[in-house]
Amino acid sequence: MSGKEIMFSPVQLGSIQLKNRLVMAPLTRMRAIAGDVPNPLAKTYYAQRASAGLIITEATQISPLGMGYPATPGIYSAAQTAAWKEIVDAVHAKGGAIVAQLWHVGRISHSSLHPEQGLPEAPSAIAASGQTYGADWKLHDYETPKAMSLDDIARLLKEFEMAAMNAKAAGFDGIEIHSANGYLLDQFLQDKTNQRTDQYGGSIENRLRLLGEVIESVSKVFPSDRVGVRLSPYGTFNDMADSDPVALFTAAIHKLNTYKLAYVHMIEPRSTSAGGGDQVYEDAPITSEMFRKAYQGQFITAGGYDQTMGEKVLEEGLADAVAYGRLYISNPDLAERFQKNASLNPYNRTTFYGGQELGYTDYPTL
């Protein structure tokens, strides 16, 4: 089959059936309303894109302390869960599949976003360099986070389990654990941010421990073949680095092989800014080539793909599905446009974060 024929053939990721291999990547849009409840417009936004084989929701915090930016939605309250249920029902009504991406940002936060909980939490008390948006939508220096105690980690595992229960109550087809882009679980993986001396730090095996425990916690709610994991090897976004990323992420893949997951979702380092810019680093390592062979299950690749590149990576067997982010923002009917080789709407970066309909639900379809 040609790459295009593969792209429009069905595929099963664990127990999740996809009608094609186009995945809408998780896209932070910062449009939640009071109580960190998804915006009523989100129902329209996601339903417009239901021709994707799979929609992965925007990153959704599992607790108030998991929040890292203003107006991002949560999945820890009854009101949030009810709003997500309406979104899921709207996507299912149009024949789509949708999973919730569960998120805790760790140190990439600011105490103004969760004043009752205080400082952000992280594996170690190491501040990220740079600035982030506080509750006032203005930039603030990163604070030095509180190093998590064993009690904090036990609480975190309960929060992941509760978030999975809410995702199940909302009717999601599965969940994706966000362990990429310099957020909390990635901070535990990489040794620039994890300098612990207990069972969660030091050796690669210890740094992988929390990710394994999170998978086990959410797998009490969803069978593991409805759970995906997102990773970003070599990603530098949010001031991340590891002294031996090949050894770390190879070990991570071997560990993930033991769980019989729905999929592993990897971000290509050439597009590491996580939506923060359009720069593509052509000489970056290609993780789908490095890690695909090691992973025994279904593999989603993301990061700066166009149609031709997506078809090529499928044809070469380096992925089972391809995730598109910015192109899905501006092309709700991206699948139909790819199928017809139609021209694409350009995206307007100034409307990515915050706001209402403009640049959210008003992009035209064919």
pLDDT number for residue 274:
47
pLDDT score of 275 = 44
* Predicted local distance difference test score (pLDDT) of residue 345: 98
Out of 146-155, 277-286, 327-336, pick the least confident.
Answer: 277-286
CA dihedral of 17, 21, 26, 31, whole degrees rounded to 10: -90
* Rounded mean pLDDT, 204-217: 98
Q: What is the spatial distance between Cα 252 and Cα 246, in angstroms, rounded to a whole number?
A: 10
pLDDT in tens, 5-28: 999 999 999 999 999 999 999 999
Residue 362: its pLDDT value, please? 98
pTM of the model: 0.96
Q: Quick one: pLDDT at residue 291?
A: 84
DSSP 211-247: HHHHHHHHTTTS-GGGEEEEE-TT--TTT---S-HHH
What is d(CA 244, CA 249) in angstroms, rounded to the nearest whole number? Answer: 9
Return all residues near 185 (Cβ < 8 A) that are at least 6 apart: 104, 106, 177, 178, 179, 210, 211, 214
Q: pLDDT tens across 85-139, in order? A: 999 999 999 999 999 999 999 999 999 999 999 999 999 999 999 999 999 999 9
Specify the pLDDT at position 18: 98
Query: Pairing mode, if any, of strands 174-178 and 98-103?
Result: parallel
The residues annotated with a catalytic role in the active site are: 183
For tokens 């170690």, name the residue: 124
Instruction: Measure the CA–CA gap between 266 and 292, rounded to whole angstroms.
Output: 9
